Structure 1
Amino acid sequence: MTSMPDLAPAAQRMADLLAGVRDYQLTAPTPCEGTSLGALIDHVNGLTQAFTWAAAKNFPDGASPPPSADAAGLPPDWRTRIPEQLDALAAAWRSPDAWRGMTKAGGIDLPGEQAGHVAMNELVVHGWDIARASGQPYDAGKDEIESCLAFVAPAVEESGGQGVEGLFGPAVDVPDNAPAVDRLIALTGRDPSWAAPDG
């Protein structure tokens, strides 16, 4: 096991970003093509549960499909529920056992260590998506970005930069001196200069 990063800072940042989302912004576009902000938050709601189960290696019946992304599925109490789930997610990945052996997420079997890096990537990259869509500032820590790259870089390299179906679009070129978070975002097929349309 090479590393066991702390997901708590990324989870807390996600909770803070969600607190800054206004109700009228739920229909706004996001850097995820064809996905509204409300739909993306629904996806975050699902993934926080899925990756908490992955850490504990304890899965409720019928918990195998990938998290949805549908604004209509967003629970009415999402503003309190998702932050609580984010706390539980971070706590679950503090256990060394979470990073050992095999687990599953979204119906896919994978090593615990890889699942932990995927969970971090979901928090960091979708945090950036939510920040951009809602007009909030965003940055991520060096350790968080390195954890994300442990998952993203090999996947992108294997695809020849052409994207990974269901995960990322084709990588976007950025300058060599671009901030680390921009380089990560570009690898996932997003334009780091993306901004929400005015109004």
Structure 2
Amino acid sequence: MARERAVPVVRALPDEALAAPTPCAEYDVKTLVNHLFQVVVQFQRLAAKEASDFTETPDRVGAGADWRERLVEEIDKLVAAWSVPGAEDGVTGAMSMPARLVGSMALLDLTVHVWDLARATGREYRLGEAAAPVVEQLAGAVEELAPTARRMGVFGDPVPVAEGAPGFERLLARTGRDPHWKG
């Protein structure tokens, strides 16, 4: 589901929008695409129980005009890596986190950052009712990760949403995003 939503957004990102702001205040579109590239590649490693390195973010956008298709290829590799039997078993990463939670983090990053990119470039990104179980799983991961993620600056403070807001809006708000953000 996240891949199917991500690919059209990534392929439609215009070069002229690379300097545009995003719902992530510290990232413009180009910086966020490079960040997304980095997390997608590193979460592939974590699925295989390999060492990862999130400390440096290479400029993959600046490495060639084919960056959109290279990112799509990496997203496909991410999906394949987490689809391998046993990927969600045991622990992974230097923090020795449960692999299933790390897989949820990969899905959360892909989902939320692609929403960020869609919003930043004026595209719609909606999740229908069929996505409700995934949104619920991600909401559980956000609740588990939130205290540490907020301390580390990964999540902002929760944003208030209307009572009865859709689950995806509540999920975005829990990560510190305004679900109605406009650039």
**Residue identity in the other structure for 2:42:** A
- From 82, 85, 88, the equivalent of 1:99 is 88
Q: Does 1:143 align with 2:130?
A: no
1:24 equivalent in structure 2 = 16
Match of 2:167 in 1: 180
* Partner-residue secondary structure (3-state), 2:96: strand
* Matched-pair contact (CA < 8 Å) for 2:91–2:97: yes
Matching residue's letter, 1:109: S
What fraction of aligned residue pairs are identical, expressed as a percent?
A: 34
**Residues 28-50 of structure 1, C-alpha deviation per residue, up to 9 Å, x if partnerless?**
00000121000000011111111
Question: Within 5 A, what are the aligned runs for 1:68-87?
Answer: 68=57, 72-74=59-61, 75-76=63-64, 77-87=66-76
How many Å apart are 1:73 and its aligned residue? 4.7
Moved over 6 A (4+): none
The aligned counterpart of 2:119 is 132
TM-score by length of 2: 0.89
Give the conservation status (yes or no) of the 8 Å contact 1:120–1:147.
Answer: no
**Distance 1:123-1:67 versus aligned 2 partners, 3 A rule:** farther
Deviation, 1:93, is 1.0
Q: Per the alignment, do residues 144 and 67 of structure 1 end up closer, same or farther by CA in structure 2, a change over 3 Å counting?
A: farther
Distance 2:88 2:122 in 1: 34
Aligned counterpart in structure 1 of residue 30 of structure 2, from 28, 35, 38: 38
- Please give the root-mean-square deviation of Cα atoms over the aligned residues, in Å: 1.9
Taking structure 1 as the reference length, what is the TM-score of the superposition? 0.82
Work out the number of aligned pairs and report it.
Answer: 178
Unaligned runs of 5+ in 1: 1-8
Structure 2 residues not aligned, in runs of 5+ = none
Q: How far apart, in 1, do the equivalents of 2:14 and 2:50 lie?
A: 34
